Copies of this chain bind each other. A is one copy, B any other.
């Protein structure tokens, strides 16, 4: 399984992903799920992948190949709006899945992948899209400034509680780490190293890109402080009527 998420805040975008890939419990390995594209100075894209690894690898190869195509053809270099990038990536995703559909179906697999595409094209604001295996998409909005892929439920409560457009980029990145931490603690198929990427609006470059392995001091401190904080919060919950003492 996988857990990836992205936040869209006023200052820019934050992307985070685990790197565990499983094909059954006895083939567990690490693959990166966060890919950046910077095909021209006026644009920057990040793609997060979940689902079939084969589908997302072929998709990424097609997107890279298309960057060499003449500018009149659609590519991440030629699109004028970010939603056109989402449409284009969605079409390529459908095409990759269709190319292998029959033999996959005969093996009982479907080869589906789901993606998050985020980035910015100069003159327009940054944006985030979740692209479904069917090629259509939804975007992040001010009311729901985050999108998630894969094993999303464990890490959602803290996002619902804290995510908002006025967080700083660094706070949004910390929130992404806490959401990943909750997921890793609950589901073995989501695991480190974690990738964390920060895009500051109008820079057209990745501001920060961290790869945090299990022993990362930052990750350990985040885990420790979050755990301590949860326990303190728990200790401050109100007592029931029938309890004695001074804790409320």
Contact = CB atoms under 8 A, between A and B. Distances in A.
A63 interface: no
A229 B226 contact: no
B233 A229 contact: yes
Interface stretch (A91-99, A123-131, A152-160): A152-160
B221 A225 contact: no
A86 interface: no
A25 interface: no
A228 interface: yes
A157 B174 contact: no
Interface in A203-226: 208, 218, 221-222, 225-226
B230 A225 contact: no
Contacts of A236: 225, 228-229
A225 B239 contact: no
A239 B170 contact: yes
A115 interface: no
A173 interface: yes
A16 to B, nearest CB: 13
